[in-house]
Structure 1
Amino acid sequence: MTMTGVRTEPVLGDVEIAEIGTLLADRSRCRVLMALIDGRALAASVLADEAGVARSTASSHLAKLTEAGFLRVETHGRHRYYRLAGPEVGELLEKLTQIAPARPVRSLRDGNRGAQLRAARTCYDHMAGRLGVGIMAHFVECRYLVGGDGEFHPESAPHDKIIGYGRDVAYELSPAGRDFIDEVGITIPDNGRSLIRYCVDWSEQRHHMAGRLGRAILDHFLANAWIARRPVGRSVQVTANGSRALADIFDISWN
């Protein structure tokens, strides 16, 4: 809109958090989002199965989530795939899992899923759970990372919360750490993001590694088949080769 040649912007009021709440109030839509929290792109048919709804119903949910900015669509030939719109969406979902009430375990399958998540999972683009915390602890104990001890100290870390990126500890990669990364063959991408970040792990309540280094470690584990993604969801399985690599390289006993 212009007035006497001067462009004016529309006046915006307070943000409508209630609209987001309404969107997430549907259990099926939440299941779709949680199926994508590991950063992968999945087909609508897979997401329909994960949400337990018909394909037509899933299509409506996906359209609403995409319009709201939670998802983006990728087209490959005749096929359309959906993924989270960005890391900030994954971080929001991780935070919501911390404050949301736990669903009662009503079956062996539910119990197994919970145990798998606590053991080893992705936190958007890096590793979390007992596996992610163990790798972080190895870097700290060997002085590959300096500046913190890998532990969550709520009394001295006023800005850190249980889940999400930490802010109170400034980790740095030491020269010994760079030598270790080179020796293992981990390639760190140069994409402008912070090299070292950390999250307070919700299941272990200790630090796990994020940032470019966290992403590079996850990529290295996947490329070497040390871990394998499950068909849907964010839990990952440590392979036999991965167990040996964890013991030999990271001094982690995994069974």
Structure 2
Amino acid sequence: MPAKPATATHFDVSKIGKLLGDSSRVEMISSLIDGRSLTARELAHGAGISASTASFHLAKLVDAGLLMVLSQGRHHFYRVASPEVGAAIQALLRLAPSGKAEPAARRKTQVCFARTCYGHLAGVLGLAVAEALQAKGLIEACGEEDFLLTRKGERFFKKLEIDLDGLHAGRRLFARQCLDWSERKPHLGGALGQAFTESLIKRKWLRKKTGSREIHVTKDGQAALRKLLGIRTEALSSAFFTADPAKNATKRRE
């Protein structure tokens, strides 16, 4: 699948700053930050704008070197231009005001509630897991990109039959802070995040929807997550799917 390279040969910081000053552009880039490739129509839908407006914004992002276009037949897919660009955008999003560019999080879909991201758990549930792991002293934030596994955490993951030595020996980074595109906060990524998610799926506590990245919590999983991490998934789901977006937006502005 040939890729159309960005027309920009170097990065103009002032130009990029202006581009990321538009919430629709930020929303589209955020939808691609986990490595996916999406069409202009999908990105327009996610950002809540028209297809023509999305095409206008996407052309500017490609020209600036932030995105690239992949062509497959009549379809054109957009993705982040490189891992380096993705890392830079993630760093910028950490500095962005929390009240901006959050329509993805306000859409009440199962994908926003729980999904896989490069094999690890993401969405509202993924963030809840990462926060619970930190609250229990199992992992600690290390800088802005990694998590540090504590001694207590080692015992916790080994009880789940996760081969920590094998993960350390692998090529994938061990425990990363992966910025969640819908929640805008880091969930547990890297080899540890993937192994943990696979362990929950193997135990049939989580179930993947066929042909989708959606994740569903089983009855056994509800009990297990409550016992292991104190996460009440039923209450978490109820709060997410019944929350009033308008009220939440008002609270963020106050």
Equivalent position to 1:150, from 139, 154, 170: 139
Deviation, 1:100, is 2.3
Deviation, 1:90, is 4.1
Partner of residue 73, structure 2:
77
* Structure 2 residue identity aligned to 1:69: G
Structure 2 residue 34 is matched with structure 1 residue 34: no
> How many residues in Structure 1 have an aligned counterpart in Structure 2?
212
CA–CA distance in 1 between the matches of 2:68 and 2:176? 25
**Secondary structure of 1:69 counterpart:** coil
Structure 2 residue 160 is matched with structure 1 residue 180: yes
* Structure 2 residue identity aligned to 1:134: V
* Structure 2 residue identity aligned to 1:165: E
Tell me if structure 1 keeps the 8 A contact 2:176–2:188: yes
**Secondary structure of 1:226 counterpart:** strand
Matches within 5 A, 1:1-255: 16-103=12-99, 112-113=106-107, 126-128=120-122, 131-134=126-129, 137=132, 149-151=138-140, 160=143, 164-166=144-146, 169=148, 174=154, 177=157, 180-181=160-161, 192-198=171-177, 208-217=187-196, 226=207, 239-241=216-218, 244-248=220-224, 251=228, 252-255=231-234
Tell me if structure 2 keeps the 8 A contact 1:198–1:210: yes
Relative to structure 1, the CA distance from residue 82 to residue 221 in structure 2 (aligned partners, 3 Å threshold; closer, same or farther) is: farther
CA–CA distance in 2 between the matches of 1:25 and 1:204? 17
Q: Which blocks of at least 5 consecutive residues in structure 1 are unaligned?
A: 1-13, 142-147
Deviation, 1:66, is 2.4
Deviation, 1:49, is 2.9
**Secondary structure of 1:45 counterpart:** helix
TM-score (norm 1): 0.56
Tell me if structure 2 keeps the 8 A contact 1:165–1:200: no
- 1:7-28: CA deviations, max 9, x gaps? xxxxxxx974212102212333
- 1:115-165: CA deviations, max 9, x gaps? 999975777774455534526755996xxxxxx64345xxxx7xx3xxx41
CA–CA distance in 2 between the matches of 1:47 and 1:56? 11
Greater radius of gyration (CA): 1
Tell me if structure 2 keeps the 8 A contact 1:171–1:197: no
Tell me if structure 2 keeps the 8 A contact 1:136–1:209: no
Tell me if structure 2 keeps the 8 A contact 1:133–1:204: no
Relative to structure 2, which stretch is displaced further, 169-178 or 67-76?
169-178
Q: Which blocks of at least 5 consecutive residues in structure 2 are unaligned?
A: 1-9, 235-254
* Bigger proportion of residues as helix: 2
Relative to structure 1, the CA distance from residue 74 to residue 15 in structure 2 (aligned partners, 3 Å threshold; closer, same or farther) is: closer
TM-score (norm 2): 0.56
CA–CA distance in 1 between the matches of 2:28 and 2:105? 20
Tell me if structure 1 keeps the 8 A contact 2:138–2:150: no
* Structure 2 residue identity aligned to 1:71: L
Relative to structure 1, the CA distance from residue 104 to residue 37 in structure 2 (aligned partners, 3 Å threshold; closer, same or farther) is: closer
Relative to structure 1, the CA distance from residue 194 to residue 24 in structure 2 (aligned partners, 3 Å threshold; closer, same or farther) is: same
CA–CA distance in 2 between the matches of 1:204 and 1:27? 14
